[in-house]
Structure formats: structure tokens, C-alpha cells
Structure 1
Amino acid sequence: MILTAAYDAVLAQIGNPSPEAPPNSDKILQMVRYLDWFVLLSGVSGITYAGGRFAWEKWSGGQLESPKMIAGAMIGGVVATSAGTIMNAVVGA
């Protein structure tokens, strides 16, 4: 009974803090936005390159390896763009 009262008193003082950005975090957030842009650019470039290679492989009659490149770029893009959602699901739980 005493432990329960002490436990409740401690929890009443802690409360439920809301997330807050640390001071001067605008530069870090800007870097994250730049990295996000670079990942998007890399994905578009990879899919464009793989599409061109796919056309070349079909035209020259070579072995088709470019569909794997396209699938890899698309899966990487899905994981990269959903990283924030995944982290919110894992950390927010």
C-alpha cells in the first residue's frame, strides 16, 4: 500500500512529456532533408539507368539482368521513403 502510494506520487510528477526538437536542430533537419533529396535522386537515376539497360538487353538479345536492378531500386525506395513511418511505429510504441 505504501509502495503503491509512492509509485503513484512519482508518476504524478513525471507526467507525459511531448517530443520537442533540441536547440539548434534546424541544421540537422536541413541535412536530413538534403539526404532525403539525394536518396530520391539516386532512386530515380537507378530506375532510369536500369530502364535504359533493359531496353539495350532486349534489343541486343543479351541476358536480362536489369529487371533485378529495377526491383532493387524500387524496394530500396520504398524502404527509404517509409523510414520515418517505420521509426514512428517502432519508437512510438
Structure 2
Amino acid sequence: MADMLLTAVHDIVRAQIDNPGPEAPPGSGSSTRLLRHLVWIHLFATVIAVVCWVQYARHQGVGRGRTITGVVVALVLGLASAGAGLVLGAGLD
């Protein structure tokens, strides 16, 4: 009997409370903008790192296969970390 009463009171109280939609925390606009700029800077730095690796590998006489492997690894790591930054930044929106 007490469980039914408690459940009924709980349902009445919950029906009175509005269910607000998701909203960004106050003041998160500037941090979201900063995160987006940092992701672009990160992608640009990834491209620069790949170009520098190719130039360094050519200068050192590293084989073509190892150079391509380094480029692929740098691109995958750069894009994965930029994607992770975007996913983590989605919580601010």
C-alpha cells in the first residue's frame, strides 16, 4: 500500500516538473569557438608534419615504402585525434 502511494506521489510530482531540452552550459560559446579553431590548427599542423616527414625521409634516403607508411600513420593519427576533439567538443553544444 505504501509503495502504491509513494509511486502515485512520485508520478504526480514528475508530471508537474517540466522536462527541459538539452542546452549548452552558460559561457560555452567562446570555448566551442576556440575548440573549432584548435581543430583546424591541428589539421594544418598534421599536413605540415606529413610534408616535413616526406622531406626528411627523402633527405635521409629512406625507402619509398617506409616513407608512405610514415605518411599514412601521421595522417591517421592526426585525423583521429582531430575527430576525438570534435567528439569531445560536442558535449559543449
TM-score, normalised with respect to structure 1: 0.63
Instruction: Answer yes or no: is the 8 Å Cα contact 1:51–1:66 preserved in 2.
Output: no
* 4+ aligned runs moved over 6 Å, structure 1: none
Per-residue displacement from partner, 1:16-58 (whole Å, max 9, x unpaired)? 12234555x2xx4123312320221122122222233224414
Q: 1:19 to 1:74 in 2, by over 3 A?
A: closer
Structure 1: gaps spanning 5 or more residues: 89-93
Alignment RMSD (CA, Å) = 2.9
Alignment match, 1:5? 8
Structure 2: gaps spanning 5 or more residues: none
RCO comparison, higher one (Cα < 8 Å, 6+):
2
Hey, what's the Cα distance between the residues in 1 that align with 2:5 and 2:31? 50
Deviation at 1:78, TM superposition (A): 1.8
Instruction: Answer yes or no: is the 8 Å Cα contact 2:39–2:85 preserved in 1.
Output: yes
Alignment match, 1:41? 41
Instruction: Answer yes or no: is the 8 Å Cα contact 1:51–1:70 preserved in 2.
Output: no
Percent identity, please: 25
Structure showing greater Rg: 2
Alignment match, 1:66? 70
Hey, what's the Cα distance between the residues in 2 that align with 1:37 and 1:16? 33
